């Protein structure tokens, strides 16, 4: 209990009310009313936008509880039937697995590579100076262009990737054309595209560390690796985690890169929930089932984000 | 005087005769002109309008686009073509129409996608326009389109399902395709490979080709997980095995994709794909098939016949090297089967410029535009009987660089028919089939995969 704060309020409030005349009270109350309207007007756009988002979201949830599809003139409320039908199919669970594997592997690999690159950028070596502006290029490319570019490069017969492998004496790789290698190939594309995001955030974190802290570690006999592991890494952990939160949300919802390369195939090997939902709604024209898949995807994103934010708070508390 | 009188009478008679002849000629010309005016319509009635025509990136679109300035000059209507790659186009078409967006006025479609679009009232029925003499010129001659194509695009929507044969006209054909096997004569000749007629023969031919030149892809076929990879090679060959996408069992529609015939077909087909198709099969659409046969990386292909024709056109790298044959058939069947696809122009029901949109559809599917497109080597399979009896087209198509195109077209067309059952839900069932095909090609058990596919289709019926 904050006793000091309570004390302040108790002593100040009666003094103020004792000093104010009834006329002042009326003026102030009128002013307050005016101020309220101004406040409401000021936040109205935000409220309208928020309500719009909420309406669309709940409309999507409502659609998932109907039998809405093309060519069916009447729409019926069918409760949780779409969800019940989904969880009975192996393809649905395969999509959940694919979504988690894709997002988990991509974010983990990006964090590791992003950290390594950020550490490199924090030095003044020549390679770092050259790479700093170049590294951002993948981030500014539209994801669909990235997908088309990699589809061409990963062509098993005429793609440049296999040509480069052949120079190193490595046999032809199927990349996105084989169910055993397709997921790995997609994660590779995601890592290539979004590692710079991690690099930027972690680099900012590294720049924020006071040089005196490093100096103190050095004075205490800590070598380079120990300084990084015991001093720098704990200090930049909140930065890594906040980047991971953003990337996890995006990776769990990733659509462009996957649809632009494999469309969820071969077979269902890369059929993540967002791609399955799109195909169900807009190719198979079963809108309600597509909406149900999106709601499931949203729940996974929500749970994943909550867990990451909790972890971030925990780490930040420990650091501070 | 009498001589003068006689001369005057003679002149008068001559003058009267000339006047009569001139009057008759003038009257005739005027009548003919009036008749021509009556046959035609006021092409400038929607002058100043601007419409958007959406289509696949396709030589059929190029054929119409090349003649667009003529339409704009004739009507004063501005047409903006929006062309998209195949997969993107079909997805965008569904989204544009399902959201009732008026931004596209005229769209390219086939019959099968239109089955899914029409019941939701997303396409405008065209009878009203066809039967309006103010909107449709008498010379348009709708009956000039092959009856089978007209019938395929005419159906009733009853209780949310399709009843083909009669009802409303939902789109106008402007090009069609039948499925054929086309091959590089030079490659097969070089390696002494005979043109295969069945999937097992094809598998053997592929092994021979691969042994002779490992860099060659023996057979180009579509494999993307989308219905477009089913409607060409797969469905055509499957029909010769006796496979039906849907059958009537006990008075109810049921899928026939888990039948013994289907299992037999898939075993042969999957084996053939494994031995013949490119490693990128799962990502290959028609663009890759055409590119393969054009560049000579692919020896044979089973797809729409015009893909072979376009590459035989004089000046192309493969000109004269591509010949044609009927599609493969089951080893125990005497006959091949060939599916047809009809590229058609339809009107977005949400369009706000329907009059102008109809004038464009009418012009783009007119006899002259069809013929011009055909002799330009682009609108190859015209849906109009008049094109096929036109000397200019027949002489062009009979040029030596097109090899046996005309003969094979006639042979195949005799047996070509729509191989799918008309029903709403076409896309869902056929997309499922395409995914199942990829699974089987990747090693999944044929019987079990087909059982799963059938169960998935039944659950959505």
Instruction: Decide if B160 touches A, using CB distance below 8 A.
Output: yes
CA dist., res. A278 & res. A282, Å (int)? 6
Distance from CA of B87 to the nearest CA of A (A): 10
CA dist., res. A208 & res. B197, Å (int)? 72
* Position A206 pLDDT exceeds 70: yes
- Tokens encoding B65: 């686009």
* Residues of chain B neighbouring A282 (CB-CB closer than 8 A): 91, 94-95, 98
Instruction: Decide if B456 touches A, using CB distance below 8 A.
Output: yes
- A165-174 pLDDT, tens per residue? 999 888 888 9
What does the pLDDT read at residue A33?
Answer: 59
**pLDDT, mean over chain B:** 90
First to last CA, chain A: 23
Instruction: Select the residue of B160, B282, B441 nearest A71 (Cβ to Cβ).
Output: B160
What does the pLDDT read at residue A7?
Answer: 42
Per cent of chain A over pLDDT 70 is 88
* Position B41 pLDDT exceeds 60: yes
What does the pLDDT read at residue B36?
Answer: 43
Instruction: Select the residue of A72, A261, A267 nearest B439 (Cβ to Cβ).
Output: A267
Identify the helix (H) or strand (E) that includes residue B264. Answer: helix B260-276
When pLDDT is averaged across residues A106-118 and rounded to a whole number, the result is: 96
B456 vs A286: CB contact, 8 Å cut-off?
A: no
Q: What is the helix, strand, coil percentage profile of chain B, to 5?
A: 50, 20, 30
User: Testing the interface with B: which of A259, A284, A289, A292 to mutate, by most B Cβ within 10 A?
Assistant: A284
Reference A68, options A294, A292, A297; nearest CA is A292
What does the pLDDT read at residue B17?
Answer: 56
Per cent of chain B over pLDDT 90 is 72
With cut-offs at 50, 70 and 90, classify the pLDDT of residue A71: low
**pLDDT, mean over chain A:** 87
pLDDT greater at residue A140 or residue A70: A140
Angle B29-B31-B32 from CA coordinates, rounded to 5°: 65
Dihedral class, residue B183 (left if φ above 0, else alpha if ψ from -120 to 50, else beta): beta
Angle B391-B395-B397 from CA coordinates, rounded to 5°: 120
Distance from CA of B413 to the nearest CA of A (A): 30
What does the pLDDT read at residue B14?
Answer: 59
DSSP string for residues in A110-144: HHHHHHHHHHHHTS--HHHHHHHHHTTHHHHS-HH
* Residues of chain A neighbouring B297 (CB-CB closer than 8 A): 157-158
When pLDDT is averaged across residues A151-170 and rounded to a whole number, the result is: 92
User: Testing the interface with A: which of B94, B156, B218, B282 to mutate, by most A Cβ within 10 A?
Assistant: B282
What chain B residue is nearest to A144 in terms of C-alpha separation?
A: B88
- Enumerate chain A positions whose Cβ falls within 8 A of a Cβ in B: 70-73, 85, 89-90, 151, 155-158, 172, 174, 176-179, 261-269, 279, 282-286
- A171-201 pLDDT, tens per residue? 888 999 999 999 999 999 999 999 999 999 9
* Residues of chain A neighbouring B226 (CB-CB closer than 8 A): 263, 283
Question: How many CB pairs (< 8 A) connect A and B?
Answer: 98
What does the pLDDT read at residue B380?
Answer: 86
Instruction: Decide if B459 touches A, using CB distance below 8 A.
Output: yes
Instruction: Select the residue of A157, A176, A263 nearest B225 (Cβ to Cβ).
Output: A263
* Residues of chain B neighbouring A268 (CB-CB closer than 8 A): 435, 439
When pLDDT is averaged across residues B286-312 and rounded to a whole number, the result is: 93
* Residues of chain A neighbouring B279 (CB-CB closer than 8 A): 156-157, 172, 174, 177-178
When pLDDT is averaged across residues A280-288 and rounded to a whole number, the result is: 89
Instruction: Decide if B214 touches A, using CB distance below 8 A.
Output: no
* Residues of chain B neighbouring A285 (CB-CB closer than 8 A): 94, 98, 116, 425, 427-428
When pLDDT is averaged across residues A281-301 and rounded to a whole number, the result is: 93
When pLDDT is averaged across residues B327-342 and rounded to a whole number, the result is: 95
* Position A6 pLDDT exceeds 50: no
What does the pLDDT read at residue A221?
Answer: 83
B94 vs A282: CB contact, 8 Å cut-off?
A: yes
ipTM of model = 0.79
Q: How many CB atoms neighbour CB B275 within 10 A?
A: 18
Distance from CA of A83 to the nearest CA of B (A): 14
With cut-offs at 50, 70 and 90, classify the pLDDT of residue A29: low
* Position B331 pLDDT exceeds 90: yes
B118 with B89: CB under 8 angstroms? no
B160 vs A262: CB contact, 8 Å cut-off?
A: no
The number of CA neighbours under 13 Å toward the Cβ of B225 is 30
Instruction: Select the residue of A151, A158, A285 nearest B283 (Cβ to Cβ).
Output: A151
Three-state DSSP state, B296: coil
Distance from CA of B351 to the nearest CA of A (A): 19
pLDDT greater at residue A33 or residue B105: B105
The number of CA neighbours under 13 Å toward the Cβ of A257 is 30
* Position B20 pLDDT exceeds 60: no
DSSP string for residues in B144-170: GB-HHHHHHTEEEEETTEEEETSSEE-
When pLDDT is averaged across residues A150-168 and rounded to a whole number, the result is: 92
B94 vs A285: CB contact, 8 Å cut-off?
A: yes
Cβ-count burial of B83 within 10 angstroms (0-12 exposed, 13-18 middle, 19+ buried)?
Answer: middle
When pLDDT is averaged across residues B53-77 and rounded to a whole number, the result is: 95
What does the pLDDT read at residue B436?
Answer: 96
DSSP string for residues in A65-88: TB---TT-SS--B-TTHHHHHHHT
- B89-132 pLDDT, tens per residue? 988 998 899 888 999 999 999 998 898 888 888 999 999 999 99
With cut-offs at 50, 70 and 90, classify the pLDDT of residue A9: very low
What does the pLDDT read at residue B5?
Answer: 47
Which pTM value belongs to this model? 0.82
A172 vs B281: CB contact, 8 Å cut-off?
A: no
B422 with B244: CB under 8 angstroms? no
Instruction: Select the residue of A71, A89, A158 nearest B424 (Cβ to Cβ).
Output: A71
Angle A137-A143-A148 from CA coordinates, rounded to 5°: 100
* Position A5 pLDDT exceeds 60: no
Reference B241, options B165, B148, B336; nearest CA is B336
* Position B33 pLDDT exceeds 50: no
CA distance readout (Å), A249 to A107, A263, A304, A307, B318: 10, 20, 8, 12, 49
With cut-offs at 50, 70 and 90, classify the pLDDT of residue A131: confident
- Tokens encoding A281: 């709604």
């Amino acid at each position: 209990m904050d006793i000091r704060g309570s004390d302040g309020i108790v002593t100040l409030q009666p003094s103020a009310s004792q000093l104010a005349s009834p006329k002042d009270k009326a003026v102030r109350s009128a002013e307050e009313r005016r101020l309220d309207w101004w406040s409401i007007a000021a936040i109205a756009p935000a409220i309208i936008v928020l309500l719009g988002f909420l309406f669309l979201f709940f409309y999507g949830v409502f659609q998932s509880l109907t039998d809405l599809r093309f060519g069916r003139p009447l729409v019926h409320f069918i409760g949780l039937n779409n969800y019940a039908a989904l969880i009975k199919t192996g393809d649905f669970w395969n999509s959940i697995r694919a979504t988690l594997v894709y997002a988990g592997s991509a974010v983990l690999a990006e964090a590791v590579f992003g950290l390594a690159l950020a550490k490199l950028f924090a030095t003044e070596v020549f390679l770092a100076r050259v790479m700093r502006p170049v590294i951002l290029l993948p981030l500014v490319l539209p994801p669909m262009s990235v997908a088309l570019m990699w589809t061409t490069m990963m062509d098993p017969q005429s793609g440049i990737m296999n040509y480069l492998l052949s120079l190193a004496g490595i046999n032809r790789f199927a990349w996105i054309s084989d169910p055993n290698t397709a997921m790995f190939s997609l994660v590779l594309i995601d890592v290539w595209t979004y590692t710079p995001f991690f690099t930027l955030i972690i680099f900012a974190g590294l720049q924020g560390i006071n040089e005196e802290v490093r100096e103190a570690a050095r004075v205490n006999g800590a070598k380079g690796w120990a300084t990084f592991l015991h001093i720098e890494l704990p200090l930049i952990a909140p930065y890594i985690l906040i980047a991971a939160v953003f990337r996890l949300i995006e990776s769990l919802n990733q659509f462009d890169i996957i649809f632009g390369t494999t469309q969820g195939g071969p077979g269902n090997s890369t059929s993540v929930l967002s791609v399955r939902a799109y195909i169900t709604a807009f190719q198979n024209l079963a809108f309600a089932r597509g909406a149900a898949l999106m709601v499931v995807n949203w729940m996974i994103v929500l749970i994943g984000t909550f867990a990451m934010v909790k972890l971030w708070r925990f780490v930040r508390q420990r650091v501070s | 005087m009498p001589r003068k009188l006689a001369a005057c009478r003679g002149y008068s008679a001559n003058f009267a005769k000339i006047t009569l002849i001139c009057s008759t000629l003038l009257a005739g010309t005027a009548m003919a002109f009036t008749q021509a005016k009556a046959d035609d319509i006021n092409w400038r009635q929607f002058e100043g309008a601007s419409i958007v025509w959406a289509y696949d990136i396709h030589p059929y679109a190029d054929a119409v686009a090349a003649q667009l300035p003529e339409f704009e000059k004739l009507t004063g209507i501005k047409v903006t073509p929006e062309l998209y790659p195949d997969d993107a186009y079909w997805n965008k078409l569904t989204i544009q129409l399902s959201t009732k967006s008026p931004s596209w006025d005229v769209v390219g479609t086939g019959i099968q996608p239109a089955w899914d679009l029409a019941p939701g009232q997303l396409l405008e029925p065209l009878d009203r326009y066809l039967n309006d003499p103010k909107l449709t010129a008498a010379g348009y001659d709708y009956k000039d389109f092959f009856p089978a194509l007209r019938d395929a695009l005419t159906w009733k929507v009853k209780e949310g399902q399709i009843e083909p044969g009669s009802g409303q006209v939902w789109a106008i054909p402007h090009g069609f395709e039948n499925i054929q096997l086309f091959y590089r004569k030079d490659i097969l000749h070089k390696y002494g490979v005979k043109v295969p007629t069945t999937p097992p023969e094809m598998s053997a031919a592929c092994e021979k080709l691969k042994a002779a030149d490992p860099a060659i892809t023996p057979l180009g076929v579509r494999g993307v997980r989308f219905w477009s990879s089913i409607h060409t090679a797969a469905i055509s060959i499957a029909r010769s095995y006796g496979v039906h996408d849907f059958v009537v069992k006990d008075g109810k529609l049921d899928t026939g994709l888990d039948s013994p015939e289907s299992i037999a077909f898939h075993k042969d087909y999957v084996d053939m794909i494994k031995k013949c198709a490119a490693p990128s099969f799962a990502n290959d659409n028609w663009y890759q098939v055409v590119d393969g046969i054009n560049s000579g990386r692919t020896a044979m292909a089973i797809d729409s016949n015009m893909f072979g024709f376009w590459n035989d056109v004089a000046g192309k790298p493969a000109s004269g090297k591509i010949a044609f044959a009927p599609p493969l058939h089951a080893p125990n069947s005497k006959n091949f089967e060939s599916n047809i696809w009809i590229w058609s122009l339809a009107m977005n029901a949400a369009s706000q410029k329907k009059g102008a949109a109809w004038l464009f559809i009418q012009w783009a599917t007119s006899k002259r535009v069809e013929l011009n497109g055909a002799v330009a080597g682009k609108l190859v399979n015209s849906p109009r009987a008049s094109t096929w009896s036109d000397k200019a087209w027949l002489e062009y198509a009979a040029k030596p660089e097109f090899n046996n195109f005309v003969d094979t077209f006639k042979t195949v067309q005799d047996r070509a028919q729509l191989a799918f059952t008309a029903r709403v839900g076409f896309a869902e069932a056929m997309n499922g089939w395409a995914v199942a095909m990829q699974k089987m090609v990747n090693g999944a058990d044929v019987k079990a995969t087909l059982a799963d596919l059938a169960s998935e289709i039944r659950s959505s019926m």
